[in-house]
Amino acid sequence: MSIEISNLNGTNDSDGDATVVGLVTNTGDRPLRNVTIEVTLFDDGALIGVEEDYIDQIPPGARRAFEVNKWDCYFSNFEVQVYGE
């Protein structure tokens, strides 16, 4: 799978809710199907949650935005993985 992840931004609001946003670009020459964005949230190295966003298809050269939210979940860092066909 040929992808590029860009414009990543993760924030906690004043209520402690987590939001992670970004863009996934298909840099290959075939459509990507059944794309899942998985965001793993950590607080000082401890796993505190895993959330997903689903994108049906990304045509070659196209990009799609994603947003993942988790309520009552303060985090200090995160990792992003992309899965698809």
CA proximity to 21, closest of 12, 13, 9: 9
User: Over 90: is that where the pLDDT of 25 sits?
Assistant: yes
**Number of compact structural domains in the chain:** 1
Backbone angles phi, psi at 9, to 5 degrees: -150, 125
| 0.85 surpassed by pTM | yes
Contacts of residue 15, defined as CB under 8 A and 6 or more positions apart, other chains included, come to: 72
Q: Give me the count of residues in the chain.
A: 85
What percent of the chain is modeled with pLDDT above 90?
A: 91
- CATH, residue 25: 2.60.40.10
Instruction: Report pLDDT digits (tens) over 65-82.
Output: 999 999 998 999 999 999
pLDDT band at 38 (very low <50, low <70, confident <90, very high): very high
User: Over 90: is that where the pLDDT of 1 sits?
Assistant: no
The parent domain of residue 23 ranges over 3-83
